[in-house]
Structure 1
Amino acid sequence: MGQENGNAPPHARDKRGEFPKGHPPIFKHSIDPLQADDWLRAIERQLVIAQCDDKEKILYASRQLQGAALDLWDSFCFSHTEANPITWAKFCSAFRTHHVPAGLMKLKEFLALKQGSMTVAEYRDKFIQLSWYAPNEVDEDGKRQELFMEGLNDGLQYQLLSHTFANFQ
């Protein structure tokens, strides 16, 4: 029968067509781990736009793998069973584990660190903790101070601009 209340049935999106519209990149292999991480983030954005569920995310993302990356994916799939299904979180974790070293992710986290809602002491402690992953970025006291200041909230940063500090401590 017809729709007597005038409400049309919900229109199902064709995700198979939606995902490729964003021109998702192909990944084969990269010697630059940041390119691998950029690929995964670009794929994630397209999957969100296409409103894919967990299973679709894995299917569509894995379609964008070629060469050595596809061989690694095939090997990863072989080790999983119906009792141990691959989730999107597992896909991302496995991809990053192989292509993006943990130290590099910590370096990125350090370079993007901002005080935000942390107290200055919490921010300082996090800054010091993550600075171990960026020895070249903080190998001089002046560089360390500058990076620390850049991450402070704007108001506090502004207040400290006119001060000179003998050292980071």
Structure 2
Amino acid sequence: MEKAFALVKVEEDQKTDFASYFLKGEANYWWETMRALEGEDVVTWDRFMELFLEKYFPHYIKNQMKIKFLELKQGNMPVSEYEAKFTELARFVLEQVDTEEKRAKRFQQGLQPWIRSRLVIFELTTYTAVVQKAMIIEGESVMS
């Protein structure tokens, strides 16, 4: 929704109305109830998001996603697939990946040991560089 808001330049005080317009079925019923319970003329976007995430993305699910990220290893996945999964789960543990260097190091730690051992000599500090070099190393081993 935030991307759509930026694209069409929705004002802050209109965001809740725009987003709630797209709710269907059970989500729409939930919102009608929540809006009545809030007892305000205007429910701010921040409050809407807080209520929405509380309902549809509870704390225990966030914790599960954090655990998945912390346990994430490349395993049998190609580097590209591992990178996609890493990116998907990283948003749940921003404190673990809030700098380029942390992100790069964390990604490198989850790589297969044979790839990681070849990467370490480069002393890479950016995420993009680590991913690219890992893909090159993986690709070269396939061609050998």
**Which of the two has higher C-alpha Rg?**
1
| Bigger fraction of residues in helix | 2
